[in-house]
Structure formats: structure tokens, C-alpha cells
């Protein structure tokens, strides 16, 4: 019996250690001075999307342009790949949402890039969306957004808020067709955005900061009814952390 109890205790310690570990990407992306705990990690190291934790869109495309289909998704060489292309005279692309929602004291971290699109039809975006789908009242945080521009520089962030869809916007002088490490940290009184090791945007306007639970979404959105060739968006990983706000030291 003692041996069994000791084995169980050792296994529990290993599990606890795994969930409390901090990946190298945490430092590479940049972070605030709080005691963060890793609560979710997706490395796309299987052969398909894990639909236990992700919900894949299956319906009309962005603003009615083409379709969003599960067929747009593959997992290749440790990356999620969303492919946009013409099928039966329609732009077919994809998007998916994480099934877990969070409110405050949350950090979403990811590594992503999006192909160039000379036809300027497709926009890659990593965002958070309200649990209730009550948009725009409950906000939308577009952390990584390429828009349909060619080339993919600069990179954009847009924060939507309020019933009239007000927006805050900033840009970063990087090439979004190359890998970018990004994170958003969401506190009740401030939002920080990090890019490749630097804090690049701070928002303190309480009207902009959402007051409702959000979840992260990965989307390759069509802004036209047609396109040329194929455009792919790649996601290397998604990691979610939470912290006790009392551990923050950067106030």
C-alpha cells in the first residue's frame, strides 16, 4: 500500500511540475512581472485538430465572402495550417475557436505567420471573442491581424468595443509573412501586447478593456468573393496562462 501511495504521489508531483513549467517562448515573447501559470498548451503535434478543445467553423465566410470549412484545416510538421483557395467558384477558408473562456488575469501567447497574397483577398487574424457572441458590445481583441495588404508589413492590432463598434488601432513594423511571437495580457485595468520580446502596446482606457469572458480564435478571413492561388496561415503553438493579480509588480 505504501508503495502504491508513493507512486501516486510521485505521478501527481510530475503532473503539477508539467503544468507549472514556463516554456522558453514565455521569455522570447515578453511578459509582465507577474507569477504566471501555464493552464493550456497546444503544440499541434498530432495529425489533426483536437476538436475536444477547438470548435471549427462550418458555414458562411467572413462578411458572407465564400465559406469557412473544416476542410481548410491540416496539421503538418507541428503546425496548424489554414488554407484558403477557390473551390466550386467560392473562396473556401477556415477559422476555429478555443472552447475555454477566461476573464481577466489571462495571457494568450502564440507563434504565427501568414502567406503573402498579391491579390489582396485574405487576412490572417488571431483574436479574442466574447463567450456570449454579443458583438461589438462585449468587445473583440484582434491581436495579430494582417489585413489584406500586400506585402504583409506592417502588422496590425485592433481592439473593438462599445455598441457603435469603436476601435483602437496600432501597427508594428514587422513582416507578418515571417514567424512572429505574440502575446496579449489582459487585466481588469490594463491590456499589454508583446511582440518578439518587447512590450509594444499598452491600453488603459477602461471603455476599451472587455468586462466579459473571452476565448481565443484563429482565422484566415476572406474580404473578397474570389482569390487567386492559395494562401496559408500557420500557427506553431497556442499557450494560455493565468495569474493572481496580487502578484503583479508592474503597476
Q: What is the CA radius of gyration of the chain?
A: 19
Residue ranges, the chain, pLDDT below 50: 1-18
- 55-72 pLDDT, tens digit per residue, is 999 999 999 999 999 999
Choose among 201, 128, 198, 144: nearest CA to 176: 144
Q: What is the pLDDT of residue 249?
A: 82
Q: What is the pLDDT of residue 22?
A: 86
Q: What is the pLDDT of residue 12?
A: 40
Q: What is the pLDDT of residue 94?
A: 98
Q: Based on DSSP, count helices (H) and strands (E) in the chain, helices before strands.
A: 2, 17
Alpha carbon distance 40, 42 (integer Å):
7
18 SS3 class: helix
Class of domain 2-247: mainly beta
Q: What is the pLDDT of residue 11?
A: 39
2 SS3 class: helix
Q: Which residues contact 154 (CB under 8 A, 6 or more apart)?
A: 171, 172, 173, 174
Q: What is the pLDDT of residue 250?
A: 67
Q: What is the pLDDT of residue 8?
A: 36
- 107-146 pLDDT, tens digit per residue, is 999 999 999 999 999 999 999 999 999 999 999 999 999 9
Choose among 56, 24, 19: nearest CA to 41: 19
186 SS3 class: strand
Q: Is the peptide bond before 154 cis (omega within 30 degrees of 0)?
A: yes
The partner residues of 132 in beta bridges, in order of sequence, read: none
Phi, psi of 164 (to 5 degrees): -95, 10
Alpha carbon distance 185, 233 (integer Å):
23
Domain ranges of the chain: 2-247
Amino acid at each position: 500500500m505504501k508503495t502504491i501511495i508513493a507512486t501516486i504521489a510521485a505521478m501527481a508531483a510530475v503532473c503539477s511540475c508539467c503544468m507549472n513549467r514556463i516554456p522558453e517562448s514565455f521569455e522570447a515573447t515578453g511578459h509582465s512581472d507577474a507569477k504566471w501559470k501555464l493552464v493550456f498548451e497546444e503544440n499541434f503535434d498530432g495529425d489533426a485538430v483536437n476538436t475536444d478543445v477547438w470548435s471549427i467553423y462550418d458555414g458562411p465566410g467572413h462578411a458572407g465572402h465564400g465559406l469557412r470549412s473544416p476542410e481548410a484545416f491540416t496539421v503538418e510538421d507541428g503546425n496548424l495550417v489554414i488554407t484558403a483557395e477557390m473551390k466550386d467558384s467560392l473562396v473556401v477558408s477556415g477559422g476555429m475557436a478555443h472552447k475555454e473562456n477566461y476573464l481577466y488575469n489571462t495571457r494568450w501567447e502564440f507563434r504565427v505567420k501568414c502567406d503573402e497574397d498579391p491579390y489582396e483577398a485574405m487576412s490572417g487574424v488571431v483574436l479574442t471573442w466574447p463567450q456570449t457572441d454579443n458583438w461589438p458590445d462585449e468587445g473583440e481583441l484582434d491581436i495579430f491581424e494582417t489585413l489584406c495588404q500586400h506585402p504583409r508589413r506592417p502588422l496590425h492590432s485592433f481592439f473593438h468595443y462599445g455598441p457603435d463598434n469603436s476601435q483602437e488601432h496600432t501597427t508594428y513594423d514587422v513582416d507578418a509573412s515571417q514567424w512572429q511571437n505574440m502575446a496579449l495580457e489582459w487585466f481588469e485595468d490594463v491590456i499589454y501586447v508583446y511582440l518578439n520580446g518587447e512590450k509594444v502596446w499598452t491600453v488603459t482606457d477602461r471603455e476599451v478593456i472587455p468586462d466579459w469572458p473571452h476565448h481565443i480564435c484563429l482565422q484566415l478571413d476572406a474580404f473578397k468573393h474570389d482569390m487567386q492561388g492559395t494562401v496559408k496561415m500557420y500557427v506553431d503553438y497556442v499557450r494560455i496562462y493565468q495569474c493572481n493579480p496580487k502578484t503583479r509588480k508592474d503597476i
